[in-house]
Structure 1
Amino acid sequence: MRTSQRPTADLPELTPGVTLVDIDSDLGVTPVLALLLDQVLGSDGRGNWVDGTNRANTTQLRELAPADRVLDRIDVARGFTAHQHTTLLDRLAGRLDSRDQPSVVVATGLDGMYRGADVDDELTEQLFIRAIAAIARIARVHNVPVVVTRCREDDFSRPLRRAAAAHLQCRATPFGPRFEDAAGDIETLVYHTGDGWMQTTLAYWQQVLEHRARMHEATTLERAAGPVGVQ
């Protein structure tokens, strides 16, 4: 579909620590995958995506990535039960302690496996708190952004909100996706402002990441060239 303007290349600037991102259901997981790819593009470290809703799809990562080589630095994993999910996050936290510095960790639907799990409520809550502790440990030890999403905002997911140092919202608007901080102040705008037809969400984020890839490549070349001397 056509557009009258190209998308801006802006995305939220993630800071070290746990960042909770609430996303309108119409947008799905795509905005968070865009953040994951952007962080990997702009660093030398690896990215890790842990899914808690049994919906991790590497096909979408491949479609979004501006270059296949970026995918070589992204690991994807998911657990199929509450116990598996908690163990996976525990193992990831321990494994990263002895590996190269990661650039970002993304945990989508962190509360998903613990809702309606085939264990009693008290144990479910304990497992969920342990999962939150694991992602907090990764953020603290490695001083990197850890981006998390949740299935629902309610009393059960409240501990995740308390553990997050930052809280963003990604809303679907008539002009495209819009990132805000939870207080309502605009964090980043990435949508078209013209009168043309909007692209599909996936194609839109593809364009944004292509812009970001060129920006990161230019910055890398500038660093490699070093300062220019004046005689």
Structure 2
Amino acid sequence: MPTRSRRPTATLPDLAPGVTLVDVDDELGVTPVQALLLDRVLGADGSAFWVDGANGANTSRLRELAPADRVLDRVEVARGFTAHQHTSLLDRLVGRLAARESPSVVVATGLDGMYRAADVDRELAEQLFIRAIASVARVARVHDVPVIVTRCREDDFSRPLRRAATTHLQCQETPFGPRFEDASGETETLVYHTEDGWMQTTLAYWREVLEHRARMHESATVARTTATPGMQ
């Protein structure tokens, strides 16, 4: 697919502290969430933690998106393959963060995925799922940081996750590319723009956005350093 286009306007949603539920069109996969994670790492101190429950933590794609390998030094990824493993990972994360500095962001993709599996009965699955939601909400509250969560399906089972989220974003595929939109309809973030009608691949777009954001963050850091008086 041709990739010739005007440089896109590099805008991504500003994530407020709290739990942010992001529903992403299937066609886009996990890439928009990865872009949000990397953007937060670029603009904030502290490590990022990604706990995956839907086998979507593609680290190869994450490396392709990162504007520099050093950015990935602050990203830790863990996967749970059963409901009990997933709950244990979130419990361990809560305990680990209690003994260290606050993270820049926490991501939990497919938070409901493992609790839909057949290895636990329905009642226990619901209990474990509520416990998982409580864990991510506690991280957001105690550390005052954004926690990005996604779900495998929107239904009665995942409704408690929607209720726990303070923000609900939708990332949709449009004829012009991906777009983030606040589910409340109050705000909309266009993240793709061309003037000549040419399309470009989603991965190429997100990478260009993140490279642009990296330059913005580096310029801001240099400006703050230059403005700081030296020690006498």
Q: What's the TM-score once normalised by structure 2's chain length?
A: 0.95
Structure-2 separation of matches of 1:128 and 1:117: 14
Whether 1:174 and 2:175 are equivalent positions in the alignment is yes
Instruction: Show the counterpart of 1:196.
Output: 197
Residue identity matched to 1:163: A
What is the letter of the counterpart of residue 113 of structure 1?
M
SS in structure 2 at match of 1:20:
strand
Using the TM superposition, give the Cα deviation of residue 99 of structure 1 relative to its aligned residue in structure 2, in angstroms: 1.2
**Aligned-partner Cα distance in 2 for 1:9–1:56:** 24
**Which runs of 5 or more structure 2 residues have no equivalent in the other structure?**
none
* 1:49 alignment counterpart: 50
Structure 2 counterpart of 1:39: 40
Deviation at 1:4, TM superposition (A): 2.9
- CA distance in 1 between counterparts of 2:187 and 2:196 reads 22
Amino acid at match of 1:183: S
Cα distance in 1 for partners of 2:157, 2:8 equals 37
Matched residues, percent identical?
76
Distance 1:205 1:61 in 2: 11
SS in 2 for 1:72: helix
Give 1:227 shift. Answer: 6.2
How many residue pairs are counted as aligned between the two chains? 228
* Letter in structure 1 aligned against 2:45: D
Distance 2:214 2:208 in 1: 10
Displacement of 1:9 in angstroms is: 1.1
Q: Distance in 2 between matches of 1:188 and 1:227?
A: 34
d(CA) in 1 for partners of 2:228 and 2:78?
A: 42
Structure 1 counterpart of 2:103:
102
Question: Counterpart of 1:172 in structure 2: which amino acid?
Answer: E
| Structure 1 residues not aligned, in runs of 5+ | none
Structure 2 CA distance for aligned equivalents of residues 40 and 22 of structure 1: 21
What is aligned with 1:72?
73
Question: Aligned residue for 2:11?
Answer: 10
CA distance in 2, matches of 1:80, 1:65: 26
How far does the alpha carbon of each residue in 1:69-125 deviate from its partner, in whole angstroms, 9 at most, with x for none? 000000000111000000100110110111122000011110010113311110000
Normalization by structure 1: what TM-score? 0.96
Aligned partners of 1:183 and 1:15: how far apart in 2?
Answer: 15
Written as runs of structure 1 = structure 2, the 5 A alignment for 1:1-231 is: 1-226=2-227
Counterpart contact for 1:180–1:187, Cα < 8 Å: yes
User: 12-21 or 195-204: which moved more?
Assistant: 195-204
Q: Answer whether contact 1:51 1:78 (CA < 8 A) is retained.
A: yes
Deviation by residue 1:52-84 (Cα, 9 ceiling, x = unmatched): 012321101100000000000000001110000
Partner Cα distance (1:5, 1:63) in 2: 21
For the 8 Å contact 1:82–1:114, the answer to whether it is kept is: yes
Amino acid paired to 1:71: L
Q: Is the 8 A contact 1:27 1:172 kept in 2?
A: yes
- Deviation track 1:148-202 (CA, whole Å, cap 9, x = no partner) reads 0001110000000000000000000111110100023333110123123211111
SS in 2 for 1:77: strand
- Distance in 1 between residues matched to 2:120 and 2:45, nearest whole Å: 40
**Structural RMSD (CA):** 1.2
